[in-house]
Amino acid sequence: MLTPLIMKLEHFLPVPDQAKEWLNSLVLRYDDFPMHADIIREGDMPSGVFVVTGGHACRYKILPDGTRQILDFMFPGDMTELHSLLLRVTDHGIVTLGPTTIARIDRGRLIAAMFDHPVVAVALWWNALHREAILRERITAIGRRSAYSRVAHLLCEISERLKLVGETVDHSYRLPLSQAELGDALGMSEVYANRMLRRLQDEGLIIADHRMLRIPDVDALKEAAGFDPRYLHLEGAPQAVRDAVPRWN
């Protein structure tokens, strides 16, 4: 079931039951991957669209010297781009961060009938813009934020994104990445990422225990990070869009 994706889309616009059934009918099959398994390798021929339904993954690129840059994280409800099959080869890889399940989607049916379900079409458009905004913020963070605020900012972002799909409890969540992966995402060494995490713990802003992370004071962590969640566009659809959607049905 595409429950995490539907939960995420409904944060933008309510999705009618008929559209939910249609979305779930698009699943061709489910594939399970172990930890640190490539779902897609850079240079592969694009083979379709998928949605993460369980677990966590990341998009990455490998530099000529063998170092890795993590571009973005994929949590339950995140999907690959509909336009990916326009490319001859994939320009980045996707690897799991732990045991992960994906749902492969019938891309042809999705595109052919998407505009018969305008709420889904508009919500998927928002979903694509949401990812682009996250990438812009990551570029800004790596280019201009201190290492300390970079780490704090990403922890705030992960909390907000996991909350969308019901994977947080009382400001606690399973941190789905190692210190090395944290460093690869934020342009710093594993040692320095560990140092920033320890500083956040020493200041009482986070409590980390075996990949579980708790944020005792959300506002304090956001202040330390300079975190403004508006870039995630979580306020829901503007009223003009909500008013227009019924006319498109």
Count Cβ atoms below 10 Å from residue 79 Cβ, excluding itself: 22
Which sequence spans correspond to the domains of the chain? 3-248
For 136, the token pair is: 């812009």
Predicted model pTM: 0.93
Percent of the chain with pLDDT over 70: 98
pLDDT digits (tens, 9 = 90+) for 11-52: 999 999 999 999 999 999 999 999 999 999 998 887 789 999
Residue 40 contacts residue 138 (beta carbons within 8 Å): no
As a whole number, the mean pLDDT across the chain is 92
C-alpha torsion sign, points 70, 75, 81, 84: positive
Give the Cα separation of 87 and 62 in Å (integer).
19
For residues 110-138, average pLDDT:
91
pLDDT digits (tens, 9 = 90+) for 63-77: 999 999 999 999 999
Residue 126 contacts residue 233 (beta carbons within 8 Å): yes
C-alpha torsion sign, points 135, 138, 140, 143: negative
For residues 180-189, average pLDDT:
96
Residue carrying structure tokens 């594993």 = 190
Assign a CATH topology to domain 3-248: Jelly Rolls (2.60.120)
